């Protein structure tokens, strides 16, 4: 990199890598970019920041790692891989990233990014795919005052739940699997509130809490109460999904944006052919955070250029509608040359 960079010496790169690349500094740098982008006037055409989404992207690992695992679907039977689980706002800003095992269900890490968010963007509606939604996650989202709106596969296999056994819903009756125990929810309500408070105050790690609740036995009344709340919330969501085309459109649009951002991440991660060379978790997280940082830097630069062009067109009397701008992605990458020469000299 020192041979490809003007204005930066090898010693300067070593010093920055040793003393500046830490989780705290990288998170703070990402926060600055996300906050700056959110304040740009043109960012509002893509969203208000009330929505976000999360999804995983697989990368190879050249050495053994605690979170590395075999993933034959994409890496053959002998190649290790991991998942970078990323949270992105409806304005395309990445506000959380986490390196996790690719064989663990992604729903464990959905809440971690939302509750660990330190930016000025505060999403209230979150979208995932099927792997990010379970009854426990639906229940925790409801208790936290958030809305989980996933894109679920195989809808014909989904079942609804009642609040009362004696209620009948005519032709919809075959869709109901049973009723939730409302008395159990009332009994465990105080404990559920304590659990929610621990998550909000960051006294408990969300992934550890979700893992514990998911593995709880049938005698765990707190876990059963949370699942019951999740079943009710999921039932309401499924009915809305079938009834509201706008909900389906918003969910699909946000998840498609997340997939588009993944293609940018793959493009930027050009070194070592897009693989992690070392298996150390801290080194992996540093590289993952740097990838998000560069992605956000591209987002800010593109947005500033788009805003400049729009201002010039409007000043010249041309009409540029916000609804048309909303279909222009700020993650364009054809002009980004990741493996070229870099000029960082002070002018």
List the pLDDT tens digit at each of the 347 positions of the chain.
Answer: 778 887 788 898 888 888 888 889 999 999 999 999 999 999 999 999 999 999 999 888 888 888 888 777 777 777 788 999 999 999 999 999 999 988 888 999 999 999 999 999 999 999 999 999 999 999 999 999 999 999 999 888 888 999 888 888 888 888 888 899 999 999 999 999 999 999 999 998 999 999 999 888 878 999 999 999 999 999 999 999 999 999 999 999 999 999 999 999 988 887 666 788 888 888 889 889 999 999 999 999 999 999 999 999 999 999 999 999 999 999 999 888 887 777 777 66
The answer to whether 46 and 307 are in contact (CB under 8 A) is no
**Residue 46 shares a structural domain with residue 106:** yes
**Residue 340 shares a structural domain with residue 267:** yes
Measured CA to CA, the distance from residue 92 to residue 33 in angstroms comes to 11
Measured CA to CA, the distance from residue 13 to residue 59 in angstroms comes to 25
**Residue 210 shares a structural domain with residue 228:** yes
**Residue 127 shares a structural domain with residue 260:** yes
Closest CA to 110 of 82, 140, 90: 140
Residue 276 β-bridge partners: 61
Which residue bears the tokens 């109901």?
Answer: 176
**Residue 205 shares a structural domain with residue 112:** no
**Residue 9 shares a structural domain with residue 106:** yes
**Residue 6 shares a structural domain with residue 124:** yes
What is the extent of the structural domain holding 149?
137-243
**Residue 76 shares a structural domain with residue 208:** no
The structural domain count of the chain equals 2
Last residue of a domain, one of 193, 218, 243: 243
Last residue of a domain, one of 211, 243, 275: 243
**Residue 198 shares a structural domain with residue 99:** no
* 21: CB partners within 8 A, 6+ apart: 286, 290
**Residue 111 shares a structural domain with residue 145:** no
**Residue 97 shares a structural domain with residue 181:** no
**Residue 3 shares a structural domain with residue 125:** yes
249 located within any domain: no
């Amino acid at each position: 990199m020192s041979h490809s960079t003007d204005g930066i010496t090898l010693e300067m790169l070593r010093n920055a890598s040793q003393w500046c690349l830490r989780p705290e500094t990288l998170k703070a740098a990402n926060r600055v970019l996300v906050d700056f982008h959110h304040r740009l006037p043109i960012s509002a055409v893509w969203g208000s920041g009330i929505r976000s989404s999360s999804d995983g992207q697989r990368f190879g690992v050249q050495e053994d790692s605690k979170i590395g695992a075999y993933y034959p679907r994409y890496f053959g039977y002998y190649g290790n891989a991991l998942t970078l689980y990323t949270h992105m706002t409806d304005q395309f800003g990445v506000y959380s990233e986490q390196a996790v095992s690719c064989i663990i269900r992604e729903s464990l890490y959905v809440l971690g990014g939302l509750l660990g968010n330190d930016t000025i963007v505060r999403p209230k509606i979150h979208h995932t795919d099927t792997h990010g939604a379970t009854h426990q996650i639906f229940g925790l989202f409801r208790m936290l005052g958030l809305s989980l709106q996933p894109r679920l596969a195989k809808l014909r296999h989904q079942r609804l739940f009642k609040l009362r056994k004696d209620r009948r819903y005519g032709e919809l009756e075959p869709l109901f699997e049973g009723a939730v125990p409302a008395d159990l929810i009332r009994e465990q309500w105080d404990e559920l509130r304590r659990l929610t408070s621990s998550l909000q105050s960051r006294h408990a790690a969300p992934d550890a809490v979700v893992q514990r609740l998911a593995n709880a036995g049938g005698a765990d009344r707190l876990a059963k109460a949370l699942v019951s709340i999740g079943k009710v919330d999921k039932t309401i969501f499924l009915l809305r999904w079938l009834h509201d085309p706008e909900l389906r459109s918003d969910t699909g649009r946000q998840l498609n944006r997340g997939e588009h951002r993944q293609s940018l991440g793959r493009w930027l991660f050009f070194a070592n052919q897009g693989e992690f060379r070392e298996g150390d978790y801290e080194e992996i997280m540093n590289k993952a955070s740097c990838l998000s940082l560069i992605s956000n830097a591209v987002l800010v630069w593109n947005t500033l250029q788009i805003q400049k062009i729009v201002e010039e067109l409007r000043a010249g009397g041309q009409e540029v509608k916000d609804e048309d701008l909303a279909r222009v992605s700020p993650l364009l990458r054809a002009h980004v040359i990741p493996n070229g020469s870099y000029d960082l000299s002070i002018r």
